[in-house]
Structures are given as structure tokens and as C-alpha cells.
Amino acid sequence: MAMIFLRQIRAGCSSRRFLSSSSSNLDLAIADLNREMESIFGEPPTQSSIHGELPSTSPINTSTAPDDPVLPECKKGLSHVDNSGNALMVDISSKEDTMRSAIASCRVLLGKLAFNLVEANQIVKGDVLNVAKIAGIQGAKQTSNLIPLCHNINLTRVDVNLILNEEDFSVEIVGEAATTSKTGVEMEAMTAVAVAGLTVYDMCKAVTKEIQITNVCLEQKSGGKSGSWSRKLSSVSDDDCI
């Protein structure tokens, strides 16, 4: 369209070279040019367009623009995160003290050589199973110092048991914690078995570095608002263990 318009202007200007430079003839030329532009654009050019100014435009209607995205609120159950994504220690002051317990487990894969030495109690550092048991109990009592948003609760019982499994040359660790408090002891039970597993590694690492600590997970819990839960009765598989 712009090329057609320019060609028409050139043609119009060429056909009017015979015009005199008088004011009246110049006015006629401008009028003819305006009619040419009107036939193409439907309206005569405005004064602002002659001087190269942009025509005024109406303000953008922002009411139809999409709203800014709103961050979704945290999913139900993420009690340690507020709606802004900040870390939050839950206020449990309104809860009542109730009896609560939890059992957790993990497995330490030793390998045949380390397993045989542990079984024969020939590890240089000493009695692996008993040292790991004490370490697990100590770990449970330090949970609130290790896990930032855990509450410091009074434990009424902590028990850690380590069982040698010759089938896969592993140590199976089971830890239990109990309290009468306003919050549960799942983290205390899981910390107990995790620290016990780390202690087994520390005691045996001189023999091999291929030891693996696997399947740290909650087995069951009781008490509190959510009631009782058992891994054996749920659909969660071992793949969900740490």
C-alpha cells in the first residue's frame, strides 16, 4: 500500500510540473494531493501527520490485562513452611500432652569381610554393635539440636537394636522412641537409627569404604492428632525410604 501511495504521489507531482509557483496554484496542488490521499486512506491527513508527529492514542485499558500470578498457598501438611515460603517452627502450645511413640529402621550393607569381622567382634575400634546402640540413643536425645525446626521434647524411652543378617551381610537397625508430650517422636526414632548406622560405618571404615547406609524410614507411629500409622498397612513401598 505504501509503494502504491508513493508512485501516485510521484505521478501527481510529475503531472503538475507545469504549474506556476503562485500561491493559488500551490493551494490547488495541495488540495489535489489531499484528495489522492483520501481516496487511498479514507480521510485527509491530519496536521500532526504532516509534521511527522504520531497520532494520539487512547490509554491502554489495563482492566482487561491478566492479573499478576498469585503464588499458591503451601499445600496442607507442610506445617514447617508458611504461605510466603519461609521456615516456620510450629506453635504447639495449644496441644495437650498425650502418649506418643514411633519405630524407625535402617539397613547397613557391610560386605562379607566387614560382616565377618563384626560378627567375630574383631574390629579394631571395638564392639561395633554395642557402640552403635549407645550412639543411637544419644542421637535421639540430640534430635532438636540436629534438626532445626524440631521441638525439644522429654523422651520417656529410647531403644535401639542391631541385628546381623548373614543373607546380605548387613546390619538391620531398629529404633524406638516414646514420650508424653505435645508432639510426636518420629524424628527422634529416625535420628536414632541414622546415627547408629553412621557409627557402624565409622567403626568399620578402615576395613572397607563400600559400606552403604540404606532405607532409613519410619515403620510405625502412634498417638497424636493423626493417630496410628504403620508402613506394613500402607501402600508406601521401600522406595520411599531415604
How far apart CA 231 and CA 101 sit, in angstroms, is: 14
How far apart CA 98 and CA 227 sit, in angstroms, is: 11
Catalytic residues: 202
Query: Is the per-residue pLDDT at 12 higher than 90?
Result: no
88 secondary structure, DSSP code: -
pLDDT band at 19 (very low <50, low <70, confident <90, very high): very low
In this predicted model, what pLDDT tens digit does every residue of 22-61 receive, in sequence order? 556 777 777 777 777 676 666 655 555 545 554 455 554 5
209 secondary structure, DSSP code: S
| Cα 7 to chain centroid, rounded | 63
Sign of the Cα torsion 8, 9, 12, 18 reads negative
Q: Report helix, strand or coil for 32.
A: helix
In this predicted model, what pLDDT tens digit does every residue of 167-200 receive, in sequence order? 999 999 999 999 998 888 999 999 999 999 999 9
Closest CA to 214 of 187, 193, 192, 230: 193
Q: Locate 53 and state its grid cell.
A: 508527529
How far apart CA 33 and CA 210 sit, in angstroms, is: 91
